[in-house]
């Protein structure tokens, strides 16, 4: 008699080593490529979903009576209906530690690009401008400047270490969840949001997108920021009021902005941000390195394996009162 293997559905490509890991314990079915199998075709049998992009809806969760786990390939779980999963006894997990180095390094790369005016320099060079363009391309050093971090979780903590140890920056942090002592222990100076805005030479955002953080940084906040300061968002689009950001840039109050995430992704062709040399837009690639994609995929695969063995993964983001972590009889 053939041993039953739990079925795992993967709707978007992930690292092949993670697929190999899952294949030892599971039947892996893909929702992409030549071997594409739609979710409806496996809903009655699927026990695990590993999602990198796209959504898992309440309708899908309800239609899958054997589903035990939805493992998110990444940090944010806004693409999963967590409430519906919780109600159905389905565990939802993420991989909070796997891409923090990549995002922190990407933030530093964006900060350096803004402060050394790399976009403007590149475009000047392509236009054939010579020494006459140099006065407009004078940059700023990071050493001795103040980096303000709004939100001081894992990624921001890694970023603070790089900024302090690697560049000699001063780091301030605002995080309403943490005490002042906890912020100090993690290497930053605790400040209020208003003080952070008024004293930072560069501001980096590291908060989730929630109703209370939508447009957290708007016209009043930009007006409070130092003349010539720069802002970086590698967290979630929508935290910044982009119309207010554009007005502040047009008024020459801000020195620049770098956005790895925007309210609409991708921004439409011809967007005013694209015409500015002091704005950098990257297509949500902060965590996209070879190293992090491998770690994220393997960690998500391990969550799947743990749940299908009847264990509760350590990175579960919900706590259903009745888990479907024991074997279900075949339909």
Active site residues: 236, 265, 284
What is the per-residue DSSP string for 44-65?
TTEEEEEESSS-B-HHHHHT-T
Question: Could you tell me the two tokens for 64?
Answer: 């899958």
Sheet holding 189-190, edge to edge: 189-190, 170-174, 146-150, 202-205, 230-233, 256-259, 279-281
Question: Could you tell me the two tokens for 115?
Answer: 């402060």
The HSE-up count of residue 84 (CA atoms within 13 Å, CB side) is 18
* E-only strand ranges, 101-193: 146-150, 170-174, 189-190
Packing angle of the helix pair 118-126, 100-115 (nearest 10 deg): 60
R_g of the chain computed on alpha carbons: 23
Handedness of CA 74, 79, 81, 85 (dihedral sign): negative
DSSP bridge partners of 265: none
Instruction: Report the alpha-carbon distance of residue 141 to residue 131 in Å, rounded.
Output: 21
Residue 213 main-chain phi, psi, to 5 deg? -105, -5
Instruction: Report the alpha-carbon distance of residue 321 to residue 68 in Å, rounded.
Output: 13
Give the number of other Cβ atoms within 10 Å of residue 202's Cβ: 27
* E-only strand ranges, the chain: 7-10, 27-30, 46-51, 69-72, 91-93, 146-150, 170-174, 189-190, 202-205, 230-233, 256-259, 279-281
Instruction: Report the alpha-carbon distance of residue 54 to residue 78 in Å, rounded.
Output: 10
Instruction: Report the alpha-carbon distance of residue 60 to residue 331 in Å, rounded.
Output: 17
């Amino acid at each position: 008699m053939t041993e039953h293997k739990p079925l795992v559905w993967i709707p978007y490509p992930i690292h092949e080593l993670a697929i190999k890991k899952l294949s030892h314990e599971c039947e892996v079915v893909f929702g992409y490529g030549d071997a594409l199998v739609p979710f409806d075709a496996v809903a009655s049998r699927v026990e695990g979903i590993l999602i990198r992009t796209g959504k898992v809806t309440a309708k899908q969760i309800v239609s899958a009576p054997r589903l035990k786990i939805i493992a998110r390939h990444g940090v944010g779980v806004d693409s999963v209906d967590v409430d519906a999963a919780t109600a159905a006894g389905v565990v939802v997990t993420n991989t909070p530690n796997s891409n923090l180095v990549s995002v922190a390094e990407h933030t530093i790369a964006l900060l350096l690009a803004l402060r050394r005016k790399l976009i403007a320099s590149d475009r000047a060079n392509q236009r054939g401008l010579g020494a006459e363009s140099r006065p407009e391309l004078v940059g700023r050093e990071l050493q001795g400047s103040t980096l303000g971090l709004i939100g001081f979780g894992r990624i921001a903590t890694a970023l603070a270490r790089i900024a302090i140890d690697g560049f000699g920056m001063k780091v301030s942090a605002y995080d309403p969840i943490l005490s002042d002592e906890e912020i100090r222990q993690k290497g930053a100076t605790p400040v209020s949001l208003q003080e952070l805005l008024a004293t930072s030479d560069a501001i980096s955002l590291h908060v989730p997108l929630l109703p209370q953080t939508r447009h957290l940084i708007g016209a009043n906040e930009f007006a409070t920021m130092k003349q010539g300061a720069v802002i970086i968002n590698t967290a979630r689009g929508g935290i910044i009021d982009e119309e207010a950001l554009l007005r502040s840039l047009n008024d020459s109050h801000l020195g620049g902005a770098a956005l790895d995430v925007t309210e609409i992704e991708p921004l439409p062709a011809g967007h005013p941000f694209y015409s500015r040399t002091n704005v950098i837009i990257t297509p949500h690639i902060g965590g996209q390195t070879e190293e992090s994609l491998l770690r994220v995929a393997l960690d998500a695969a391990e969550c799947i394996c743990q749940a299908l063995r009847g264990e509760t993964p350590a990175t579960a983001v919900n706590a259903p009162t009745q888990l479907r972590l024991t074997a279900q009889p075949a339909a």
